[in-house]
Amino acid sequence: MNLLLLHPHQHLHGNLWRLDERQCRHVRDILGLTEGGSCRAGIVGGGIGMAQIESRENNEMRVLFNEDSHPCPPLPLSLLLALPRPKMLKRILIDATSLGIKRIVLINSWKVDKSYWQTPNLKADLLREKMLLGLEQARDTMLPELVLAPRFKPFVEDNLNAWAGPGQRILAHPGDYPPMPGDLTEPVTLAIGPEGGWTDYEVSMLQQQGFACHSFGARILRVETALPALVGRVMRLP
Amino acid sequence: MNLLLLHPHQHLHGNLWRLDERQCRHVRDILGLTEGGSCRAGIVGGGIGMAQIESRENNEMRVLFNEDSHPCPPLPLSLLLALPRPKMLKRILIDATSLGIKRIVLINSWKVDKSYWQTPNLKADLLREKMLLGLEQARDTMLPELVLAPRFKPFVEDNLNAWAGPGQRILAHPGDYPPMPGDLTEPVTLAIGPEGGWTDYEVSMLQQQGFACHSFGARILRVETALPALVGRVMRLP
């Protein structure tokens, strides 16, 4: 936790905020702060600044928050990601969020196990929780917009073009394709397939929506490795 | 497991090999292969090719291995990495290996908790096991050379220059530095610090050894996210 992320329900009055239990433990046990001590904090969806411990009684901790700056700029990369294995979804959402991605679609694919769509991990509050961890990691306050697309064809045919908007549309796909572009600063939409890759049918449907295939080396990477490697390659991180 | 990785002790005679218990389970339960079926395989430190199920009796499985190609070329990137938290070390070694890194030094740093050096994870056979998982993932057979440097100063002063050898020496460090170079194909040595970063003293010692600081965005990334992102950025993956 590199940032105390303050939620509206924690606001008391003026610039006084109440820390939740997890934040209290962090401030007390990890940062070792006492009254008067301060650390970085931010308001979900708002600015960042310093939080100073105003009072500390048993498990209740109050801070005075003074905003002094904006969070890191967003990464202008939209991510179309085949739904990962449930046990990897947490890590991937934390990584994507900490990298600054603000627009994510989790989409079905032929090689996505149907059971993945049944897991409790996909409950909105649990997805949000993971993304909040990514914000705390990267000292950001702006939650990504996350869309679930459990049906590939209708989303790609009817929604993808509008969702992706302007900018390059990139698909990492094994084969004799031009190398992945790099160091981009303008908007990009990046499609990352499931373990085992998109099917030829899926690739052709994405190509019909303006996605261009690019090669990214001969190695088979786990999705959780490929995502940060591709983002690091394609974008210049602001 | 994208490759059956065959070890010398599994060799019977000619091109006949015995699968270990884990490989048997994978071939039987995941790939669903029966006698005559085949899948990709490779010999540790050697070539890759096809393994055909020759016989299958209860838990004993034998394959005929025929080499037909070389593993993916290595990534000409040497990694100087501050020893990560024990629970992350496994993932980081799997990722580094699957990305094709062949030379790794795990080094101490002021911000590395001393207890990290006491964990059983650092036993050579356990480190090797993690790297083997990375090879299986990326269909590679060449194990990285891994060095443990529990003392920062003597390694950096006496060994680092010779270990790094020719090529750029790069340090990801927050601050007003030139952006991280990208799309390199020649040898590079990349230094990645601990959570919280290298100390100024450590940075200056690395600079004395020819490492140049480069910025990699304003966000604080977990080491397990920063590693693939930096590798994807700096190198053109072969």
CA dihedral A200, A205, A210, A211 (to 10 degrees): -40
Tell me if B237 and A217 make a contact (CB, 8 A cut-off).
yes
d(CA B126, CA B43): 19
CA dihedral A153, A157, A159, A160 (to 10 degrees): 90
Find the mean pLDDT for residues A163-184.
Answer: 94
Buried b (16+ CB within 10 A) or exposed e, A149-162: beebeebbeeebee
Q: Which residues of B touch A231 (CB under 8 A)?
A: 229, 232
d(CA A164, CA A136): 27
Looking at chain A, the whole-number percentage of residues with pLDDT higher than 70 is: 100
Does residue A56 have a pLDDT over 90?
Answer: no
In this structure, what DSSP letter does residue A235 have?
B
d(CA A124, CA A116): 15
Find the mean pLDDT for residues A80-106.
Answer: 96
Residue B220 is predicted with a pLDDT of 93
Task: Return the number of other C-beta atoms located less than 10 Å from residue B139's C-beta.
Answer: 21
Q: Which residues of A touch B219 (CB under 8 A)?
A: 72, 98-100, 138-140, 237
Does residue A57 have a pLDDT over 90?
Answer: no
Q: Which residues of A touch B226 (CB under 8 A)?
A: 228
B196 touching A (Cβ < 8 Å): no
Residue A195 is predicted with a pLDDT of 85
A206 touching B (Cβ < 8 Å): no
pLDDT in tens, chain B (238 residues): 999 999 999 999 999 999 999 999 999 999 999 999 999 999 999 999 999 999 988 778 999 999 999 999 999 999 999 999 999 999 999 999 999 999 999 999 999 999 999 998 899 999 999 999 999 999 999 999 999 999 999 999 999 999 999 999 999 988 889 999 999 999 999 999 998 899 999 999 999 999 999 999 999 999 999 999 999 999 999 9
Mutate one of B111, B190, B215, B219 to test the A interface: name it (highest A CB count within 10 A). B219
Tell me if A236 and B179 make a contact (CB, 8 A cut-off).
yes
Tell me if B72 and A182 make a contact (CB, 8 A cut-off).
no
A238 touching B (Cβ < 8 Å): yes
B77 touching A (Cβ < 8 Å): no
Does residue A121 have a pLDDT over 90?
Answer: no
CA torsion through residues A186, A189, A194, A198, sign: negative
Mutate one of A75, A190, A221 to test the B interface: name it (highest B CB count within 10 A). A221
pLDDT band at A175 (very low <50, low <70, confident <90, very high): confident
Q: Tell me how close the Cα of A231 comes to any Cα of chain B, in angstroms.
A: 7
Residue A174 is predicted with a pLDDT of 85
d(CA B185, CA B167): 10
Tell me if A217 and B238 make a contact (CB, 8 A cut-off).
yes
Amino acid at A210: G
Residue A81 is predicted with a pLDDT of 98
d(CA B156, CA B122): 20
pLDDT band at A165 (very low <50, low <70, confident <90, very high): very high
What's the whole-model pTM score?
Answer: 0.96
Amino acid at B127: L
Tell me if B219 and A95 make a contact (CB, 8 A cut-off).
no
**Cα nearest neighbour of B231 on chain A:** A229
pLDDT in tens, A126-141: 999 999 999 999 999 9
Tell me if B182 and A179 make a contact (CB, 8 A cut-off).
no
DSSP per position, B180-197: PP-SB-S-EEEEE--TT-
Contact yes or no for A88/A227 (Cβ under 8 A): no
Tell me if A228 and B228 make a contact (CB, 8 A cut-off).
yes
Tell me if B139 and A220 make a contact (CB, 8 A cut-off).
yes
Closest CA to B171 of B92, B99, B237, B107: B107
Q: Tell me how close the Cα of A34 comes to any Cα of chain B, in angstroms.
A: 21
Q: Which residues of B touch A76 (CB under 8 A)?
A: none
d(CA B142, CA B102): 8
Residue B59 is predicted with a pLDDT of 75
| ipTM topping 0.85 | yes
Find the mean pLDDT for residues A5-25.
Answer: 96
Residue A143 is predicted with a pLDDT of 98
Residue B195 is predicted with a pLDDT of 85
Q: Which residues of B touch A192 (CB under 8 A)?
A: none
Residue B142 is predicted with a pLDDT of 98
Closest to B231 (Cβ–Cβ): which among A94, A139, A229?
A: A229
Residue A136 is predicted with a pLDDT of 97
Residue B57 is predicted with a pLDDT of 82
SS3 for B93? Answer: helix
Residue B12 is predicted with a pLDDT of 96
Does residue A58 have a pLDDT over 90?
Answer: no
Tell me if B221 and A99 make a contact (CB, 8 A cut-off).
yes
Tell me if B237 and A222 make a contact (CB, 8 A cut-off).
no
| Chain A to chain B Cβ contacts (< 8 Å) | 108
A236 Cβ neighbours under 8 A, 6+ residues apart: A183, A184, A185, B179, B217
